[in-house]
Amino acid sequence: MPELKLPDIDYAALLPMLILFGAACVGVLIEGFVPRSVRNMVQLVLSLAAMVAALVFVIRRAGEVTAENAATIGGAIMIDNMGLFMEGALLVLGLVSLLLFGERTLERGGAFVPHAAVTVGSERDREQAVDSGATEVYPLALFSLGGMLMFVTANDLLTMFVALEVFSLPLYLMCALARRKRLLSQESALKYFLLGAYASAFFLFGVAMIYGFAKGVDFRAIHEAVRGSETSPTLLLIGLALVAIGLLFKIAAAPFHVWTPDVYQGAPTPVTAFMAACTKAAAFGALLRVLYVGFDGAKWHFTPVLGAVAVLTMLVGAVLAVTQTDLKRLLAYSSVANAGYLMVGLLGGNKDGLSSTLFYLVAYGFTVIAAFALVSLVRDADGEATHLSRWAGLGRRSPLFAGIFTFLLLAFAGIPLTSGFMAKFGVFGAAIAGDQTWLVIFGVLTSIVLAFPYLRVVVMMWLSEPGETTPSVSIPGVLTSAVLGIGTVATLLLGVLPGPLLELADQASSFIR
Amino acid sequence: MSLSAYIPIVGLFALAAAFGLFSVAIAPFVGPRRFNRAKLDAYECGIEPTPQPIGGGRFPVKFYLTAMLFIIFDIEIIFLYPWAVSFDMLGLFGFVEMVLFIVAVFVAYTYVWRRGGLDWD
């Protein structure tokens, strides 16, 4: 009987992922065996510890990456500088948004409902109101984050597909667990699941087409096939288009963005923050790898098409943000527009484009997590009051929080001395250097349009009188305060002293093929 | 590679189609016709399609949970079979991987057991 030749497995390089998946399995066991009263605390501590440990191993790995040791498990995973940076960024952003999951002072039992199917207001619902909430979200978040780490380091399209499913499925579940506005939450989860499954099918079909073209699914084989092939590129173009649809769905680029406002609005706010920061970063990490490593030879084919998608994304995000009356939907359309700006950087197609996109992802992640943390504070008897009119006059009620939110909105708008300015400056500069000036023109124009809805919120908060129905701003617990502090300070620091992160992103902006 | 390798497959398809057509076409002529109540019921399980039950024919979510639990073990078995067949080739590494896989499934099973997924009422 012949012995099977095993691929080399570098466990040290895979340790961050293994820690997260292992901790998630332990988390599932905790759900079964630890008493309900302490479960939330145990889960929170375990998840945070796992993320910190994973982050430590990512940092220890930095600087040790060489062309020889980057690929592991037979080339299925590629831990290069770029992959390490994305892993670190995802872990940091995931760590900050996980703090929001643990918040219990704003609402009894937290933002997650243990039995989502129970009718609101029924006897059983009153019973479960005293419960500690659905603590399953912690293992789910860990599974999801582990999948994201795998997604940004996947070195072939099949591993990438598996990772896509691993990080998507827990997200669909978490979206359905909101304690308040339960039906809206479940509707959003169903929409996200159906559309997400559809997008995954597109991705997989594209992988099949590319396999037909390149006789392989790993990025080196695809790269060589694109470079050297004399055959007709039909299969390549169909395959690349289908794979791109799957990825553009995840980054919420128009016209694949329609799920975004519904899901961002319906999902529990901590999950929305997690999605806005981490899902976007993971999907962009994968898109960068696909386009820069696998298909860089087809640049002349995809740049105009993705450029058109970027322009459409910026326009749709900016124009529809103007018409929104719900704050979470407004932030969702702003997230769509930001996907457009990120694509501008990506389409620069040079090293600057890569590093500026990385910087943008981290900067935007911190700001958006802090913004959603603040949204979760403004509450009335029915939970979060997200309608814009309810925020009128909030500046008088609570100048501190209105001030922080104003600062975050200005960062979204890209005002100097905030991280938003440095990020936009970076991606637009990279696009001009890469001869994509037309994208920058649209980028600047839509930024001006997008400033209007942000400033309208600011004006409403400060210049209106608070009315009878103006909700109060809850005093945040330690965890939400920490998130607000970290997000705001990061937004300010990355605007004033962007040097260290820019340098780090610059060092990280190299792939190993 | 020539296409002749596919001719048996085409033949198989043709044979299968011919068998299906033949059985359906011949049944009304040669089959006995003895109707009783049980013959008109839906086969063994399932919901009567007509008349439409009140409330759309709801049934308890427990069935769904049990079915899903069955699928977990179904998939475990599907992965165990090829591993068992090539156990000698895979060696110790394959054994360790399989133990890890079974542990992972067992974690999910423990969760279901402890949280009352196996209790019918």
> Are residues A306 and A348 in contact, defined by beta-carbon separation less than 8 angstroms?
no
Residue A365, pLDDT score: 96
Q: Do B108 and A28 touch (CB under 8 A)?
A: yes
Q: What is the pLDDT of residue A284?
A: 96
Give the integer Cα–Cα distance in Å for B63 and B59. 8
Burial label for B120, CB within 10 Å (0-12, 13-18, 19+), is: exposed
Q: What is the mean pLDDT of residues B90-117?
A: 90
Q: Give φ, ψ of A473 to 5 degrees.
A: -95, 120
Does residue A202 lie in a domain region? yes
pLDDT at residue B44 in the model: 59
A367 within domain boundaries? yes
Number of domains in chain A: 1
pLDDT at A513: 80
- Contacts with A3 from chain B: Cβ below 8 Å: 89, 91
DSSP-H helix ranges across A414-498: 419-433, 437-463, 478-496
A52, two tokens: 């910190």
What integer pLDDT is reported at residue B36 of this predicted model? 79
- Domain residues for the domain of A128 are 11-508
Please choose, from the candidates A401, A490, A504, the residue with its C-alpha nearest in 3D space to the C-alpha of residue A96: A490
Tell me whether residues B107 and A28 touch, CB distance under 8 A. yes
The backbone torsions φ and ψ at residue A496, rounded to the nearest 5 degrees and listed phi first, read -90, -45
B37 to chain A nearest CA, in Å?
39
CB-CB contact of A306 with A292 (8 Å): no
Q: Name the residue facing B89 among A1, A25, A28 (closest C-beta).
A: A1
| Min Cα separation A26/chain B (Å) | 8
Task: Tell me which residue has tokens 């939110």.
Answer: A405
Given A3, A28, A117, which is nearest B89 (Cβ)? Answer: A3
Rounded distance, CA A131 to CA A142, Å? Answer: 22
Average pLDDT of span A399-413 = 94
Asked whether residue A2 is domain-assigned, the answer is no
Question: CB of A130 within 8 Å of any CB in chain B?
Answer: no
Is pLDDT at B5 greater than 80 in this prediction? Answer: no
**Distance from first CA to last CA of chain B, Å, rounded?**
60
CA angle in degrees (0–180, nearest 5) for A248-A511-A52: 80
Mean per-residue pLDDT of chain B: 84
Beta-carbon pairs below 8 A across chains A and B: 31
Give mean pLDDT, residues A396-402.
89
A5 touching chain B per CB within 8 A: no
Cβ neighbours, 10 Å, residue A29: 15
CA-nearest residue to A33 within chain B is B114
Q: Is A69 helix (H, G, I), strand (E, B) or coil?
A: coil
Q: Hey, are the CB atoms on A32 and B110 less than 8 Å from each other?
A: yes
Q: Å from B73 to nearest chain A CA?
A: 18
Residue B40 has pLDDT above 80, yes or no: no
Residues A31, B107: C-beta atoms closer than 8 Å: no
Task: Choose from A20, A26, A29, A132 for mutation: most chain B CBs within 10 A.
Answer: A29
C-alpha to C-alpha distance for A28 and B110, rounded to whole angstroms: 9
CA of A41 vs chain B CAs: smallest distance (Å): 19
C-alpha triplet B16, B18, B24: angle, nearest 5°: 100
Q: Which residue, chain included where needed, has tokens 């390089």?
A: A13
pLDDT at A110: 83
Q: Using DSSP, state whether A473 is helix, strand or coil.
A: strand
If one compares A408 and B45, the residue with the highest pLDDT of the two is: A408
In order of their start, the domains of chain B are 3-114 (1.20.58)
Cα A504 from chain centre:
20
The stretch A5-10 carries a mean pLDDT of 83
Cα–Cα distance measured from residue A460 to residue A445, given in angstroms and rounded to the nearest whole number: 24
In a domain, A5, yes or no: no
By the CB < 8 Å criterion, does B91 face chain A? yes
Q: Is B65 on the interface with A (CB under 8 A)?
A: no
**Distance (Å) from the C-alpha of residue B43 to the closest C-alpha of chain A?**
31
3-state helix, strand, coil split of chain B in percent (to 5) is 75, 0, 25
CB atoms near residue B9 (< 10 Å): 9
CA-derived radius of gyration, chain B: 24
pLDDT of B111 higher than 60: yes
CB contact residues (below 8 A), chain B span 2-31, against chain A: none
Say whether B111 and A33 touch across the interface (CB within 8 A).
no
- Mean pLDDT in residue range A392-405: 90
Give per-residue pLDDT as tens, A84-100.
Answer: 999 999 999 999 999 99
Percent of chain A residues topping a pLDDT of 70: 99
Contacts of A25 in chain B (CB under 8 A): 103-104, 107
Q: How confident is the model at residue B53 (pLDDT cuts 50, 70, 90)?
A: low
Q: Contact A189/A196 with Cβ under 8 angstroms? A: no
Return d(Cα A162, Cα A73) in angstroms, integer: 15
Query: pTM value?
Result: 0.90
Distance CA A167, CA A148 (A): 6
**pLDDT score for A287:** 95
Residue A1, pLDDT > 60, answer no
Each residue's pLDDT tens digit, A234-280: 889 999 999 999 999 999 998 999 999 999 999 999 999 999 999 99
Domain contains A513: no
Q: For chain A, what's the residue count?
A: 513
Q: What mean pLDDT is reported for chain A?
A: 92
Is there a contact between B114 and A4 if contact means CB atoms under 8 Å apart? Answer: no
Q: Would you call B91 and A3 a contact, using CB atoms and an 8 Å cutoff? A: yes
Q: Give dist(CA A30, CA A437) in Å, integer.
A: 54
Q: How confident is the model at residue B48 (pLDDT cuts 50, 70, 90)?
A: low
B103 CB neighbours in chain A (<8 A) are 25
Tokens of B26: 């011949």
Q: Which residue of A has its CA nearest to B61?
A: A117
State whether B110 and A29 contact (CB < 8 Å): yes
Beta bridge partners of A378: A473
Q: Examine residue A55 and state whether it is found in any structural domain, yes or no.
A: yes
Mean pLDDT confidence for A129-136: 79
CB contact under 8 A, A2 and B104: no
Which pLDDT value is given to residue A405? Answer: 94
pLDDT of A296 strictly over 80:
yes
* Alpha carbon of A25: minimum distance to chain B alpha carbons (Å): 7
For residue A256, tell me if it sits in a domain.
yes
Q: Which residues contact B6 (CB under 8 A, 6 or more apart)?
A: none
DSSP strand pairing (A472-473 vs A378-380): antiparallel
Task: Read off the pLDDT band of A220 (50, 70, 90).
Answer: very high
Rounded CA separation B81/B60 (Å)? 33
Among the partner-chain residues B93, B94, B111, the one whose CB lies closest to the CB of A31 is B111
Of A121-125, A220-224, A257-261, A391-395, give the lowest mean pLDDT range: A121-125
Query: Is B117 in CB contact (< 8 Å) with chain A?
Result: no
Confidence of residue A79 (pLDDT cuts 50, 70, 90): very high
Instruction: Output DSSP code: residue A67.
Output: T
Of A259-268, A344-353, B104-113, give the range with the top mean pLDDT: A259-268
Q: Print burial letters for A406-437: b (CB count within 10 Å at least 16), e (below 16).
A: bbbbbbbbbeeebbbbbbbbbbbbbbebbebe
Is A219 a domain residue?
yes
**Beta-carbon count within 10 A of A34 CB:** 17
pLDDT at residue B49, as a whole number: 63
Asked if residues A112 and A31 have their Cβ atoms less than 8 Å apart, the reply is no
**What is the distance between the alpha carbons of residues A483 and A159, in angstroms, rounded to a whole number?**
33
Our CA-based measurement puts residue A6 at a distance from the nearest CA of chain B, in whole angstroms, of 8
Residues on chain A touching B82 (C-beta within 8 angstroms) = none
